[in-house]
A and B are shown apart, each in its own frame.
Chain A
Amino acid sequence: MIARVAVWLDRRLGAAEVAAAGAKKVFPEHWSFLLGEIALYSFLVLLATGTFLAMFFESSLEEVVYDGAYEPLQGVEVSAAFSSVMRLSFDVRAGLLVRQIHHWAALIFVAAIVVHLLRIFFTGAFRRPRELNWILGVTLLILAIVEGFAGYSLPDDLLSGTGLRIGFSIAQSIPFIGESLAFLVWGGEYPGDGILSRLFIAHVWVIPLLMLGLVTVHVGLVVRQKHTQFPGPGHTNDNVVGQRLWPTYAAKAVGLLFLLAGVLTAMGTLFQINPIWLYGPYDVAAVTTGAQPDWYMGWLEGALRLMPPVAISAFGRFVPNVFFPGVLVAGLTFGALYAWPFVEQWRTGEADCEHHLLDRPRDRPGRTAFGVAVVTFYSTLFVGGSNDILAAMTGWNVEAIVRVFQVLLVVLPPLAAWLTVRTCAQLRVADDHGRAVEQVRASMTTSN
């Protein structure tokens, strides 16, 4: 039966040669190569769960009276969007489960992308010929963050509304075009009458479609250029050592997909996430304390909170405070990410040949130290983004905590870089020592 189908396909598509080439393809093995796969599989889980959710969501701000199963809000005027997410959570069988899996998958998705990016960075996998795939990957990270923020904003609950208000302020602070741009995106002055249906179409169609296209090219380039590998016995710049796609690698890859789906389902079952019925519907004049965005917005939140009270008024122009954290820091972050492979090439001259063997981070102390410093900077921003919660936990006043973090933001990155350089040097010494011991041992064996 299978053989007959295969022959049928080969006679129409010439599938046999493609299958033969694909089945023999070798993938090198290392746990860190699974990070990108985890991102890819989270994306699949998001597409599946998101399609189900979209069947029930209404992207309308029209006021309706909530009359679903959740008693505390019965009779309250809410938007149709909020009401539809409530119905999905309380009245649709398996609705809450799928919603929670979707939200957890989104958090894991962005996390997997970020850790994958760090792996690529610290092992030098972005070097020629893979600069283009680095650019695609950074673009996917940006799209994933925007996609996450759009999804977070859809239920029209108190937290998501507050996030949109801050988004409007940041959009408005973009030089010269900000005011008009914010009006175009929101469909007028905040809150705008078009924003929710626009976010919906962006979240379920435009951005996922873009991502699907870019992911396809991203993975296609890995196939075309073949995967990088760590140095090791028999590993050269001209070969790939590992498992063939068929059957070993395929079994493990599909297995990982199911394992991830299982873990995400368990998270969606066990850990409540985004309980909008506790936040309540959005009200332009209401706000809650201890509000936190999804984790991947934490660095931006921290930048907003730790920015000193500076605004510039000059030449008839006004540069609002949110411009610095919201536009400048974000712009520099992604600009620097895009530029990195080319900046490093220009400094090292490594563009003259192809690099398929990965660096060990310790062997590139300059790059590693820079990376660790940057990660430290963003981690400090991230933790600083919860200054009010830290204040409540420690009993210190918020202002003191902000001061401490402002200092840490300047002090920690260089300190981390210095420690990294030292650690790299020590690890290399240990390597040399280990190699010397090996040699002595080998010579003793020979002399015996």
Chain B
Amino acid sequence: MSDDARTDDRRTETSVLVAFGVATAGAVGFVVAYALDAGAGWMGTALSAAFLGLGYGLVAWGHGLMPPGDEVEERHVMPAAPQREQEVGAYLRERGLEVRRRGLLGVALATALGATGLAALVPLWSLGPRPGDALLRTAWANPTNPRMVTTQGRPVRADELELGGILTVFPEGHEGAADAQALVIQLGDVALRSPGRADWMAAGHVAYSKVCTHAGCPVGLYEAVQQTLFCPCHQSAFDVVAGASPFQGPATQPLPQLPLAVDDEGYLVATGDFSAPVGPGWWDHP
């Protein structure tokens, strides 16, 4: 071994020693930081130093002081020699032929295995209810014309929202119901451009489902000057005066609308369910 190589070796050895020293110090430091509850910063720094020291030391050791590469291993193709393949195949066939009545029993076994396998999957049906009409209706469908209440359950008066004001509402008794969430907006003296729904407004209010018809996010942003609703998830925008029909982004269906009225005590109520199922559609939904 030449002098140069020996110096290189000694240099590598020193750096590996230093790295393992750092690792040990890091490990000790981590325990101390943990014991003193010194916070994630100290703990993480010490632990990271321990790992990095170990890693660097091992790689440098392997790279500089262990047998280098260029060793050769023979490779053999995956398949056995064709003759051997045939032998094994013949052996399996012959042993199989010694099994008596394989035809009938084989079919019976396959049938029994299949039936048992399918039967074992049946309990998966317990995971959830059949959809039924759950997606077609919400808690607004209530003959008693439920009041609109806030998330906290406070009924909304027909005179509390200012022009351009907006509020998230639920049917009374169903606060927080995901499919029933609606936005009530005070539009003032505006004629809706949605045919057949002239009397769905009450005292200048209009209400739409807050569930985006694109992917179901809450349509959380209202721009009062343009009178548009905007979904922050995928940037669909809906024209409130035109029946909340989408005019930008990926949504294709308008937000379903709620028919509104004001009850005897001056509270906003819904006189029926949404004009369509809320949220994005599904294949069986005509």
Contact of B128 among A188, A252, A288 (CB under 8 A): A188
A 332-353 to B, binary, CB cutoff 8 A, 1 in contact else 0: 0000000000000000000000
In the bound complex, do residue B281 and residue A311 qualify as a contact, i.e. CB atoms below 8 Å apart? yes
Q: A28's closest neighbor in chain B, by CB?
A: B69
In the bound complex, do residue B250 and residue A308 qualify as a contact, i.e. CB atoms below 8 Å apart? yes
Q: Is B279 close to A, CB under 8 A?
A: yes
Supposing A97-B40, A165-B216 touch, asked if A179 and B251 sit within 8 A by C-beta, the answer is no
Q: Is B286 close to A, CB under 8 A?
A: yes
B 204-228 to A, binary, CB cutoff 8 A, 1 in contact else 0: 0000001000111110110000000
Select the residue from A186, A194, A248 with max chain B CB neighbours within 10 A: A248
Q: A313's closest neighbor in chain B, by CB?
A: B286
Q: Is A145 close to B, CB under 8 A?
A: no
Supposing A252-B63, A399-B248 touch, asked if A318 and B285 sit within 8 A by C-beta, the answer is yes
In the bound complex, do residue A251 and residue B66 qualify as a contact, i.e. CB atoms below 8 Å apart? yes
In the bound complex, do residue A255 and residue B55 qualify as a contact, i.e. CB atoms below 8 Å apart? yes
In the bound complex, do residue B69 and residue A248 qualify as a contact, i.e. CB atoms below 8 Å apart? yes
Complex A-B: 5 CB contacts under 8 Å: A225-B78, A243-B68, A265-B48, A269-B45, A284-B176
Q: Is A427 close to B, CB under 8 A?
A: no
Select the residue from B61, B124, B135, B233 with max chain A CB neighbours within 10 A: B233
Using Cβ atoms and an 8 Å threshold, which residues of chain B touch A395? none
Q: Is B56 close to A, CB under 8 A?
A: yes
Q: How far is the CA of A266 from the CA of B124 in the complex (A)?
A: 43
Using Cβ atoms and an 8 Å threshold, which residues of chain A touch B214? 169, 304, 321-322
Q: How far is the CA of A425 from the CA of B144 in the complex (A)?
A: 76
Q: Is B181 close to A, CB under 8 A?
A: yes
Of A3-11, A170-178, A363-371, A414-422, the one with at least 4 CB within 8 A of chain B: A170-178
Supposing A189-B134, A240-B75 touch, asked if A162 and B217 sit within 8 A by C-beta, the answer is yes
Q: How far is the CA of A24 from the CA of B215 in the complex (A)?
A: 56
In the bound complex, do residue B286 and residue A321 qualify as a contact, i.e. CB atoms below 8 Å apart? no
Using Cβ atoms and an 8 Å threshold, which residues of chain A touch B151? 283, 285
In the bound complex, do residue B235 and residue A387 qualify as a contact, i.e. CB atoms below 8 Å apart? yes
In the bound complex, do residue B55 and residue A287 qualify as a contact, i.e. CB atoms below 8 Å apart? no
Q: How far is the CA of A189 from the CA of B130 in the complex (A)?
A: 10
Q: B151's closest neighbor in chain A, by CB?
A: A285
Using Cβ atoms and an 8 Å threshold, which residues of chain A touch B178? 189-191, 284-285
Supposing A251-B61, A252-B59 touch, asked if A189 and B51 sit within 8 A by C-beta, the answer is no
Using Cβ atoms and an 8 Å threshold, which residues of chain A touch B246? 309
Contact of A258 among B41, B51, B176, B281 (CB under 8 A): B51
- Closest chain A CB from B165 CB (angstroms): 17
Contact of A288 among B50, B60, B129, B232 (CB under 8 A): B232
Using Cβ atoms and an 8 Å threshold, which residues of chain B touch A251? 58-59, 61-62, 66
Using Cβ atoms and an 8 Å threshold, which residues of chain B touch A317? 283-284, 286
Contact count A vs B, C-beta below 8 Å: 275
- Closest chain B CB from A384 CB (angstroms): 11
In the bound complex, do residue A175 and residue B129 qualify as a contact, i.e. CB atoms below 8 Å apart? no
Q: B67's closest neighbor in chain A, by CB?
A: A248
Q: How far is the CA of A178 from the CA of B281 in the complex (A)?
A: 10
| Given A244-B71, A289-B220, 18 more pairs with CB closer than 8 A | A97-B40, A165-B215, A165-B217, A176-B284, A178-B283, A179-B285, A183-B130, A189-B179, A226-B73, A247-B62, A248-B62, A250-B62, A258-B52, A269-B44, A284-B218, A321-B250, A321-B280, A356-B75
Q: How far is the CA of A116 from the CA of B10 in the complex (A)?
A: 36
In the bound complex, do residue B59 and residue A189 qualify as a contact, i.e. CB atoms below 8 Å apart? no
- Closest chain A CB from B274 CB (angstroms): 14
Q: How far is the CA of A405 from the CA of B258 in the complex (A)?
A: 36
Supposing A178-B283, A388-B235 touch, asked if A183 and B131 sit within 8 A by C-beta, the answer is yes
Using Cβ atoms and an 8 Å threshold, which residues of chain B touch A100? 40
Using Cβ atoms and an 8 Å threshold, which residues of chain A touch B71? 26, 241-244
Q: A243's closest neighbor in chain B, by CB?
A: B69
In the bound complex, do residue B55 and residue A309 qualify as a contact, i.e. CB atoms below 8 Å apart? no
- Closest chain A CB from B158 CB (angstroms): 21
Q: How far is the CA of A179 from the CA of B231 in the complex (A)?
A: 23
Q: Is A319 close to B, CB under 8 A?
A: yes
A 76-100 to B, binary, CB cutoff 8 A, 1 in contact else 0: 0000000000000000011011001
In the bound complex, do residue A178 and residue B282 qualify as a contact, i.e. CB atoms below 8 Å apart? yes
Q: How far is the CA of A402 from the CA of B234 in the complex (A)?
A: 10
Q: Is B127 close to A, CB under 8 A?
A: yes
In the bound complex, do residue A322 and residue B55 qualify as a contact, i.e. CB atoms below 8 Å apart? no
Using Cβ atoms and an 8 Å threshold, which residues of chain B touch A185? 127-128
Q: How far is the CA of A178 from the CA of B135 in the complex (A)?
A: 12
Q: How far is the CA of A25 from the CA of B73 in the complex (A)?
A: 7
- Identify which of residues 246-285 in chain B touch chain A, using a CB-to-CB cut-off of 8 Å: 246, 248-253, 279-285
In the bound complex, do residue B44 and residue A266 qualify as a contact, i.e. CB atoms below 8 Å apart? yes
Q: Is A201 close to B, CB under 8 A?
A: no
Select the residue from B215, B284, B286 with max chain A CB neighbours within 10 A: B215
Q: Is A29 close to B, CB under 8 A?
A: yes
Using Cβ atoms and an 8 Å threshold, which residues of chain B touch A305? 234-235, 249-250
- Identify which of residues 307-336 in chain A touch chain B, using a CB-to-CB cut-off of 8 Å: 307-311, 313, 316-322, 326
Q: Is A115 close to B, CB under 8 A?
A: no
Rank and list the top 9 A-B pairs by shortest CB-CB distance, nearest first.
A269-B44, A255-B58, A259-B55, A262-B51, A251-B62, A258-B55, A262-B52, A255-B59, A26-B73
Q: Is A256 close to B, CB under 8 A?
A: yes
Q: Is B49 close to A, CB under 8 A?
A: yes
Q: Is A207 close to B, CB under 8 A?
A: no
Q: How far is the CA of A269 from the CA of B48 in the complex (A)?
A: 8
Q: Is A168 close to B, CB under 8 A?
A: yes
Q: How far is the CA of A238 from the CA of B235 in the complex (A)?
A: 57
Q: How far is the CA of A288 from the CA of B217 in the complex (A)?
A: 10
Using Cβ atoms and an 8 Å threshold, which residues of chain B touch A444? none
Q: Is A398 close to B, CB under 8 A?
A: yes
Using Cβ atoms and an 8 Å threshold, which residues of chain A touch B135? 179, 189
Q: Is A263 close to B, CB under 8 A?
A: yes
Q: A224's closest neighbor in chain B, by CB?
A: B78
Q: Is B70 close to A, CB under 8 A?
A: yes
Contact of B44 among A97, A179, A316 (CB under 8 A): A97
